[in-house]
Structure 1
Amino acid sequence: MSTWHKSSYSGGNGGDCVEVAEGPVTRIRDTQNRDLGHLEAETGEWTAFLKAATS
């Protein structure tokens, strides 16, 4: 099982953050509503999303 982590750019004040657990499938969840579940994306799709979002 992979470990959930959030960006080091996220502050400790509980703001608007997401957590990611990477593995064969990347899981994404809202830190404010962890109990509501998560989204899943193929790891390659998640990598492509991050590349597009940061360019």
Structure 2
Amino acid sequence: MKDQELASTLTWRKSSASGSGNCVEVAQSGRVFVHDSKNPQGVFLGFGAARWIEFIDGVRGEGLTAVSRSQPR
């Protein structure tokens, strides 16, 4: 299944706290998918459950480190 076909089959959810419209939406179908709510037909990212939990834990605990786009990944 191509990415756009997959994206159209997912049920996307937005946080109830996202009043400004600048947010991401998430969907789950074996993996967790994230996309920009302002561009739902654009690129989306997929994460395995363990990586998604690590990400959420990092956000909640402020354990994430900002990475400059100029730094190698």
TM range (shorter): 0.7 to 0.9
Tell me the secondary structure at the aligned position of residue 57 of structure 2: helix
Tell me the secondary structure at the aligned position of residue 52 of structure 2: helix
Q: Unpaired runs of 5+ in structure 2?
A: 1-8, 62-73
Greater RCO, CA 8 A, separation 6+: 1
2:57 and 2:16 map into 1 onto residues whose CA distance is: 18
Tell me the secondary structure at the aligned position of residue 36 of structure 1: coil
User: Larger Rg: 1 or 2?
Assistant: 2
TM-score between both structures, scaled by the size of structure 1: 0.81
| Alignment coverage as a number of residue pairs | 53
- Match status 1:49 vs 2:28: no
